[in-house]
Amino acid sequence: MATLKDVARKAGVSEGTASLVINGKAGPKNTTREIVLKAAKELRYVPNSAARNLARKESTTVGLVVTDIENPFFGSITRYVNQFLARKDQSMVLSVSNDDAKTEDSIIRNFIQQGVRGIIVAPTQLSRRNTAILKDVHEHRIPIVFISSYYKDFSAPRVLTDYSQGSYDLTNYLIDTGHRDIRFLVSHDLDAPIARERIDGFLRAYGDHSAMPHGRAIHRCPHPDFESGYREASRVIKDGKPDAIVTVNDVMALGAKRAIKESGLRVPDDISVAGYDDVVFASLSEIPLTTVRQNIPEIARAAVDLLFSPELQNGVDVRIAPELVVRKSTKAKNTHHSR
Amino acid sequence: MATLKDVARKAGVSEGTASLVINGKAGPKNTTREIVLKAAKELRYVPNSAARNLARKESTTVGLVVTDIENPFFGSITRYVNQFLARKDQSMVLSVSNDDAKTEDSIIRNFIQQGVRGIIVAPTQLSRRNTAILKDVHEHRIPIVFISSYYKDFSAPRVLTDYSQGSYDLTNYLIDTGHRDIRFLVSHDLDAPIARERIDGFLRAYGDHSAMPHGRAIHRCPHPDFESGYREASRVIKDGKPDAIVTVNDVMALGAKRAIKESGLRVPDDISVAGYDDVVFASLSEIPLTTVRQNIPEIARAAVDLLFSPELQNGVDVRIAPELVVRKSTKAKNTHHSR
DNA sequence: CTGTTAGCGCGTTCAT
DNA sequence: ATGAACGCGCTAACAG
């Protein structure tokens, strides 16, 4: 572990000039520049970033928090955030919160202690929570941006898919293809963006068709996961046969598919199913899933850009357009449906 | 951004004692301890870890490299590595290599420059490669451990599933249930652990049954992904109808399932299919996949333990037991099979 | 028990 | 164009 001093000594120059050439700054003439570089290479010199950060009073790592890294959606988010960060010579420290607010708190606390240059957080599926730690982040002047969701009682830049639009497009398509009784399986907290905005789009589509959704079209699930999708769909089916079941994400949709199949009904012939996200395995299953694709690379790019944007406003709300992806899990229904 | 000096001044003590109480070290008596803690809280003091690392000459972050974070297998690895690292108060910087050796090199280079305390790498699917960067890691005295695979020409501790055993168990089960012509779809580099060890188990099972595999039972695929699984399986089917197709991971198995279905044959009635890993969606699809589960939490735990083990030997090769998971994609076959 | 001092490795003024 | 000196925030060794 050679130090800058070693390099300087070996090159026969002072630490100061050695520092200049190592950082490629103007000043030293080419001849000495070569000498220093040669010495550095021979000594296998690698700058100590702790010392560098301390002296420069800046850091080159940003923190990313996600709720569930085993979900390919967040895997994809992570991949692209990492990629765009790398282009700015920034490292990425990752921590997973398991969708728990307390854990999220302590992760963020660690981030600010580590002196990260910025924080990107995909928050828990709650609409609001204790924001003390987030205020700490502000006080420490460290930029933060939310992706995929946000807290209603804390103002910070965020980049999300236009969830409402996505649900609108999907619902529109379903109504146009003869579906009338469409059930929507959402998360528990109806005020969380993952639910609220999607429900808005859902209802808007019905409104535009001068139609009314089923009286109990919105079904809340304890968690937005496979198990919940399976259970709630089972319950729905037991009480009747809707034209379609749509969910707030793809894994829930897979759960619904399973429930329908086990009940003896078929997808899409008896009941159409659609999800949200377009995670990899959505297209891989035997009955490829109709879904709403989120443009993850764009989301990641916008988030990183926002983090490094100096005129980063508190109220920025970037929306990325979704894309309806029609596959095999939905199918046109006759209009004379059962009621 | 209050500093230790500020806290000391406000508490009316020296920097030295302030440091002691902040770090919970013995010395200061309880009364002064409280005073300092109170001052720290009021100033919202947060230690600067760059300065701390510099002074202590140590770091509290370890680097993790994976090839593909969108694959739930690595998502799971990441989750548990992060979890076990957190218990040791270590942060995790993550980078994804996209299964490219050059990228992997530069990631590791960044890690050593960052002064990480250790490195865990899930390497590319190659059996060997230029190991210069890995030697640099050794020279910098930073511990490194490989998971899920390794390079044959570089000696370092590693923790892997007992791949051979897993394939052996699976093949055994298939032969016992009447399968004779089993095809094995593997990666391109037959010497890579992902292929070599699994093939060994495959052949060993045949040997123990005094049986012979099909003359061209081993099929190499350009990449171990869905597309390759699909294509190679299609080719296999066109040349005849084997009893089963097994692959080195689950996504390839899904590709094979798709190919079989498109050819008009049925899984498992006509051809059994089995994968490896037991990623989440393996059990979620309409025909739940028979597979070999890797004990990921154990792998992660062993890897970080190894990283922090002082007597970490160069040749350590930790093997975690796999578990055969029989589901619906395999089914007993009649022994009078077609040839 | 507590204060003082000397670095950790590097960036950055200032002179020269 | 280059060198000397100081400081970043904190820890550690030594006095007292």
Per DSSP, the residues of B93-123 read EEEE-TT-HHHHHHHHHHHHHHT-SEEEE--
> For residue A335, what pLDDT band results from cuts at 50, 70 and 90?
low
In angstroms, the first-to-last Cα distance of chain A is 76
If 0-12 CB within 10 Å is exposed, 13-18 middle and 19+ buried, where does residue A7 land? buried
Q: Is there a contact between B292 and B202 (Cβ–Cβ < 8 Å)? A: no
Give residue B212's pLDDT: 94
Length of chain A: 339
> For residue B339, what pLDDT band results from cuts at 50, 70 and 90?
very low
Phi, psi of A243 (to 5 degrees): -80, -30
**How many whole angstroms separate alpha carbon B100 and alpha carbon B189?**
14
Give residue B337's pLDDT: 46
Instruction: Report CB contact under 8 Å: A280, B70.
Output: yes
Sign of CA dihedral A18, A19, A20, A23: positive
How many alpha carbons lie under 13 Å from residue A142 in its C-beta half-sphere? 28
Peptide linkage before B268 cis (omega within 30 of 0):
yes
| pLDDT surpasses 80 at B310 | no
Give residue A117's pLDDT: 95
| pLDDT surpasses 80 at B179 | yes
Beta strands per DSSP E along A248-337? 272-274, 291-293, 317-320, 323-325
**How many whole angstroms separate alpha carbon B48 and alpha carbon B64?**
23
> Other CB atoms closer than 10 Å to residue B99's CB: what's the count?
18
> For residue B311, what pLDDT band results from cuts at 50, 70 and 90?
confident
- The residue that minimises its CA distance to C1' of C12 is A16
- The residue that minimises its CA distance to C1' of C2 is B17
Share of chain A above pLDDT 70, in %: 99
Give residue B224's pLDDT: 86
pLDDT tens readout for residues A267-288 = 999 999 999 999 988 888 878 9
> For residue A315, what pLDDT band results from cuts at 50, 70 and 90?
confident
Instruction: Report CB contact under 8 Å: A258, B286.
Output: yes
**How many whole angstroms separate alpha carbon B141 and alpha carbon B121?**
16
Residue in B49, B140, B254 closest to A115 by CB: B49
Tell which phi-psi region holds residue B192, choosing left (phi > 0), alpha (psi between -120 and 50) or beta. Answer: beta
Alpha helices in chain A (DSSP H): 4-11, 15-22, 30-42, 49-56, 72-87, 101-114, 132-139, 163-176, 193-208, 226-238, 250-262, 296-308
Task: State the DSSP H helix or E strand holding residue B336, giving kind and residue range, or none if neither.
Answer: none
| pLDDT surpasses 60 at A339 | no
> For residue A310, what pLDDT band results from cuts at 50, 70 and 90?
confident
pLDDT tens readout for residues B255-293 = 999 999 999 999 999 999 999 999 988 888 778 999 999
Strand bridging mode A144-147 / A158-161: parallel
Instruction: Report CB contact under 8 Å: B286, A261.
Output: yes
Sequence-distant (6+) residues with CB within 8 A of B32 are: B11, B13, B17, B21
CA B120 to centroid of chain Cα atoms: 9
Nearest CA in chain A to B45: A113
- Disruptive mutation site among A284, A287, A296, A328 for chain B (greatest number of B CBs within 10 Å): A284
Contact list, A257 vs chain B (CB under 8 Å) = 286
| pLDDT surpasses 60 at A248 | yes
pLDDT tens readout for residues A188-203 = 999 999 899 999 999 9
Strand bridging mode B323-325 / B291-293: antiparallel
**How many whole angstroms separate alpha carbon B56 and alpha carbon B63?**
19
Q: Is there a contact between B60 and B71 (Cβ–Cβ < 8 Å)? A: no
- CA of A142 vs C1' of C6, distance in Å? 33
Sequence-distant (6+) residues with CB within 8 A of A290 are: A170, A272, A273, A274, A275, A325, A326, A327, A328, A329, A330
pLDDT tens readout for residues B41-92 = 999 999 999 999 999 999 999 999 999 999 999 999 999 999 999 999 999 9
CA distances to A230, A233, A335 from A237, rounded to whole Å, are 11, 6, 20
Residue among B160, B177, B58 at smallest CA distance from B117: B58
pLDDT tens readout for residues B211-262 = 999 999 999 999 888 999 999 999 999 999 999 999 999 999 999 999 999 9
Interval B158-171 mean pLDDT: 97
Give residue A282's pLDDT: 87
| Average per-residue pLDDT for chain A | 93
Interval A113-117 mean pLDDT: 93
**How many whole angstroms separate alpha carbon A333 and alpha carbon A324?**
19
Give residue A225's pLDDT: 87
Residue in A49, A59, A254 closest to B284 by CB: A254
Q: How far is B208 from chain A (nearest CA, A)?
A: 35
User: What are the beta bridge partners of residue B272?
Assistant: B244
**How many whole angstroms separate alpha carbon A7 and alpha carbon A35?**
10
Give residue B22's pLDDT: 93
Q: Which amino acid is at B11?
A: A
**How many whole angstroms separate alpha carbon B256 and alpha carbon B325?**
18
Interval A307-333 mean pLDDT: 91
Instruction: Please give the structure tokens belonging to residue A318.
Output: 């970037």
Instruction: Report CB contact under 8 Å: A70, B71.
Output: no
- CA of B25 vs C1' of C6, distance in Å? 21
Interval B104-123 mean pLDDT: 96
| pLDDT surpasses 70 at A213 | yes
pLDDT tens readout for residues A131-179 = 999 999 998 899 999 999 999 999 999 999 999 999 999 999 999 999 9
| pLDDT surpasses 80 at A322 | yes
Comparing B218 with A315, the larger pLDDT belongs to: B218
Q: How far is A305 from chain B (nearest CA, A)?
A: 19
Instruction: Please give the structure tokens belonging to residue A282.
Output: 């959505």
Q: What is the DSSP letter of B278?
A: -
- CA of A11 vs C1' of D12, distance in Å? 32
| pLDDT surpasses 70 at B336 | no
**How many whole angstroms separate alpha carbon B269 and alpha carbon A324?**
35
Q: Is there a contact between B39 and B10 (Cβ–Cβ < 8 Å)? A: yes
pLDDT tens readout for residues A51-77 = 999 999 989 999 999 999 999 999 999
| pLDDT surpasses 60 at B139 | yes
Residue in B79, B82, B114 closest to A91 by CB: B114
Decide: CB of B26 under 7 A of nucleic strand D: no
Nucleotides of D under 7 A from a protein CB: 1-5, 7-14
